Amino acid sequence: MFLYALLSGLTLGGVYALVALGLTIQYGVSRTLNLGYGEFLIGAAFAVFVMFGTFGISPYLLAIVVLPGAFALSWLVYRVMLMPIVRRARSPMALEIDSLLLTFGLLFAIMGIMLLMFGSNYTNYSYLSVPVRVMDATVALNRLISFGVAVVVGIIAYILLMHTRTGMALRAVSVDPVGARLVGIDVNWAAGLAFGLGGAIAAMGGILISTYMTFTAEMGVIFTMKALIVVIMAGVGHVVGALVAGLVLGLIEAFVAAYLDPGLTVAVIYAVFLLTLIIRPQGIFGRVAR
Amino acid sequence: MLEVSNLSVRYGRHLALENAALNVAKGEIVVVLGSNGAGKSTLIKGMAGLVRTEPGAKITLEGTSLHKMPAHRIVDAGLALVPEGRHLFSTLTVNENLMLGAFLPRTRARAEESMERVFAVFPKLKQRLTQIAGTMSGGEQQMVAIGRAMMTCPRLLLLDEPSLGLSPLLTSELFRALPSIATTGTSVLLVEQNSHQSLAIADRGYLIEKGTITGEGTAQELLASEEVQKAYLGM
């Protein structure tokens, strides 16, 4: 049972880590919280569901079209919807509230479109759900692949952010937007790019999850909340923190489900979240703002 | 090389800066003296594009108009600001902070050469490249902030109260560095409350009071003037 919980925790945590990574990039750089984030994940899940059903192409290969699409849409969301309120925001607090209201609306708009197209039925399809033996436990191959892809995407994102000039610029904006403007970085360019990257990462998460999980048009908000918990627990804008905290969250869920009760997972997650907020309000890896 | 006229800034109904005018020549060090809330920071932020300025202002740097340009393009045009509070990338290393100063394509190719110039002015930074900027002392952080601004290869360097929060010793160390920056052809404009030390290194100065520029003169003239002695030098 231990090995089974560990494996299912790692596969789940891998996706949580990935989804949190996308949100922390969006939120950290643009300072606008995207409540419609999870809709991009579910949108991608439906997109591969339809395309896999129609053309029979592997969902993993479909990432080649779905990810750029998600990037472009997210980028547009920032440029068209959020930039006007960023421009007229009088204070960071006002921007926070305006962006929450706006992306709350976005959540319902995208969800409504998906409900119209797919209804509110549970959707799933079968792809590579062949059992694989890992030591004493069996796992579905699609879950293993999903974990592997999450790890690879996480590493690529880390390298891009830490070791490229553009990545350094994105980090600079997330640490100090005023300082970034003073070295010639166009903060709106950076925020648009971060939104696009975040959206693409969410879509990757959606593709991975769709291969082994049942999903509905209304499920986006669950992923937004999970990602948000991870991001806040880790400290906003902290890339490695989001990856670690996401993995830990997945493990906690799996072990609680295996040893206590599957119905308790949400309660335990929120308890851990609350505890973190009480002990370290700036996040486990976050630094106190001065 | 820098010409400013008719520059006004309004915060809501409050007119924080009214029709400010000043100029800075190439290689010159100019100081704007004023007490707290006189509009010094507003003046400098208005030039750097960090606050919205009223229409009708004229800000030109070697013939290029900077008025209403976004802040990041003003940097590209050759005006760099070391802001109040420094706004360093505090969780990044000193090296990353400096390299970000050379973010623009115009400055990227000259990054190594600029870095040498920074080390020539602040040799201390050379040993601190891998340190996280936020863990440094105030004086060292100010050096990084000035170094970062120098990395943008500015024609004009603006400094917003660089002595704020620094010990007198560190302040004089910092002020001694400014003439060596100016000799490389970069003009320096700083706003200060610390009149003694800033006038000692400046070529010229302006006085600002309640949002308007009320006087100007060479550093010697200002040091000798009764008005300045009473208001700023505590004599």
β-partners of residue A134 are A137
pLDDT tens for each residue of A48-91 = 999 999 999 999 999 999 999 999 999 999 999 999 998 888 88
pLDDT tens for each residue of B25-35 = 999 999 999 98
- Rounded Cα–Cα distance for residues B12 and B10 (Å): 6
Whether the predicted pLDDT of A136 surpasses 90 = no
* pLDDT on residue A67: 97
A93 pLDDT tier (thresholds 50, 70, 90): confident
A133 pLDDT tier (thresholds 50, 70, 90): confident
Report CB contact under 8 Å: A184, B87: no
- A204-232 burial, b if ≥16 CB within 10 A, otherwise e? bbbbbbbbbbebbbebbbebbbbbbbbbb
Residue B217: its H or E element: strand B212-218
Nearest by CB to residue B103, choosing from A169, A176, A287, is A169
* Domain locations in chain B as residue ranges: 25-52+69-231
Residues B74, B75, B80: CA angle, nearest 5 degrees: 115
- The whole-number average pLDDT for the span A138-159 is 91
Report CB contact under 8 Å: A184, B72: yes
pTM: 0.90
Asked whether A212 and A130 are in contact (CB, 8 A), the reply is: no
Q: Which comes out higher in pLDDT, residue B229 or A50?
A: A50
Q: Is A186 on the interface with B (CB under 8 A)?
A: yes
- Domain B25-52+69-231 of CATH type 3.40.50.300: yes
Which residue type occupies B158?
L
Nearest by CB to residue A185, choosing from B72, B81, B87, is B72
Report CB contact under 8 Å: A186, B48: no
Closest residue in chain B to residue A167, using alpha carbons only: B100
Average pLDDT in chain A: 92
**Which residues in B lie closer than 8 A to residue A286 (C-beta atoms)?**
none
pLDDT tens for each residue of B33-55 = 998 889 999 999 999 999 999 99
Whether the predicted pLDDT of B74 surpasses 90 = yes
Whether the predicted pLDDT of A45 surpasses 80 = yes
Closest residue in chain A to residue B91, using alpha carbons only: A175
Which residue type occupies A77?
V
Q: Which comes out higher in pLDDT, residue A62 or A135?
A: A62
Whether the predicted pLDDT of B92 surpasses 70 = yes
Number of neighbours of residue A137 by Cβ within 10 angstroms: 16
* Torsion region of B120: left, alpha or beta (phi above 0 gives left; psi -120 to 50 gives alpha): alpha
* pLDDT on residue A290: 38
